[in-house]
Amino acid sequence: MVDRDLRGRGIRDERVLAAFERVDRARFVPSIERDKAYDDRALQLTHGQTISQPYMVALMLEALQLRGGEKVLEIGTGSGYQTALLAEICAEVWTVERIEYLATTAEDRLLDLGYRNIRFKLGDGSNGWPEGAPYDRIVVSAACPNLPQPLLEQLGEDGLLAAPVGVGDHQDLTVAVKRGGRIDVQKGIACVFVKLIGDHGYAAPEG
């Protein structure tokens, strides 16, 4: 998967590639989907959520320009797959998940795998995690109608934020950089993610 779908499609960050080689995606997908664990596509989790396409995860991590000592805020723990990749590269990962079942199962899984540089929170990820701010990097694993203001406020100086931004079924992989208190935004490739539900995202669906 790493050679075919990541290196083969232009991912060049060796820290990111090495993390993908160390983290077995099969440990993070439901048993019914395990035969597809190394396919380059999103797979279904519970509660209408997904584990993202490996290439897209790699693009987002590469966009963060990680050097190894960062404190990173992750919005949307999901299965914990991207969380593990971040933990392989970064000094600290602070991860927020709004769905209790996903939050607890991901925490148990990651602790069982031996990760000790991750902090977990159940809550509205669109509000970030103010107690840990500022963050060197922030990555959002769900579609935002706009970049959430609390996350921009919690981003440290010279920090990078990567998120899919857009409405409907179309988003752009967007990278925001904070310099001198100013936010510069650059749009990248088109993508499709599940919606970020919360105060600074989308309203929860009825029922």
CA 186 to chain centre: 18
Residue among 31, 52, 126, 141 flagged as catalytic: 52
CA distance 65 to 55: 16
- Supply φ then ψ for residue 162, to 5 degrees: -120, 130
Q: Is-catalytic flag, 79? A: no
Helices (H) and strands (E) in the chain, counts: 5, 9
The conformational region for residue 48 under phi > 0 = left, psi -120 to 50 = alpha, else beta, is left
Cβ atoms 117, 52 nearer than 8 A: no
| Matching residue, tokens 């997904």 | 50
Contact 194, 143 (CB under 8 A): yes
| Catalytic residue list | 52
